[in-house]
Amino acid sequence: MDVKTLCLGVLTEGDKTGYEIKRCFEDAFSHFFVAGFGSIYPALAELSRRGLVTSRGVEQEGRPDKKIYSITPEGERALAAELAGTPPRHKVRSQFLALMYFAHLLPPERVAGIIDQMIAQWEPTVAKIEGCVTAEQLTPGMRFAAGYGRAVLGAALAYVRANKEDLVREVAAATDREPLALAGE
């Protein structure tokens, strides 16, 4: 299950350009699957080469021409096979938590700053998801995925807010006792 599969998936909801697909990724998948143009355009080209999507060019005035992609019957079969065969993996890679794990090697102000950055990053995401959960005309699965994001990001935000001050204080206290072991260089 990669960017190609997700592209096929969003195309089952209707024809779209690469640019619009990118927006789908941002709006609907952003909390569990990130992809940029550099992944999406090559993915679409590859799907086209394999006959899983077709595209028609549309000329535009004052704007670059666009290509509207549609999923083909073979594409639908390939998607169904992929969804049927994919094991449910769920992978987190967090530099944020790695940084926190080694908080004792960092100046306390940096620890506080890092946590503030994460809060600032998560808040708009939660707000965006909030809209999805309550939206009508979404499939149950889409609401489930959005609800998951709200629950988990909400828990993450609550946790870092509740524990920030304690952590910063403890790191500061440790730095006082054992000044500049590493952090000062």
Nearer to its own copies, 63 or 91 (CB): 91
Contact pick of 20, 82, 130, 170 for DNA (by CB under 7 A): 20
Least distance in angstroms from the C-beta of 43 to its own copies: 14
Closest CA to 171 of 113, 106, 95: 106
* Contact positions with its own copies (CB under 8 A) in 94-123: 94-106, 110-111, 114, 117-118, 121
Query: How many angstroms separate the CA atoms of 156 and 133, rounded?
Result: 18
Q: Is the dihedral of CA 44, 46, 52, 58 positive or negative?
A: positive
Smallest separation, CB 58 to its own copies (Å): 27
Closer to DNA by CB, 21 or 168: give it: 21
- Choosing from 41, 76, 128, 133, the residue that interacts with its own copies (CB under 8 A) is 76
Distance CA 42, CA 133 (A): 31
**Distances in whole angstroms, Cα of residue 145 to Cα of each of 9, 33, 94, 126, 135:** 15, 11, 20, 13, 13
If residue 44 lies in a helix (H) or strand (E), which one and from where to where? helix 37-49
Determine, following the binding rule CB under 8 A, whether residue 93 of this chain makes contact with its own copies: yes
Minimum distance of its own copies from residue 26's CB (angstroms)? 14
- If contact means CB under 5 to 8 A according to the sort of partner, which of DNA, its own copies, none does residue 136 touch? none
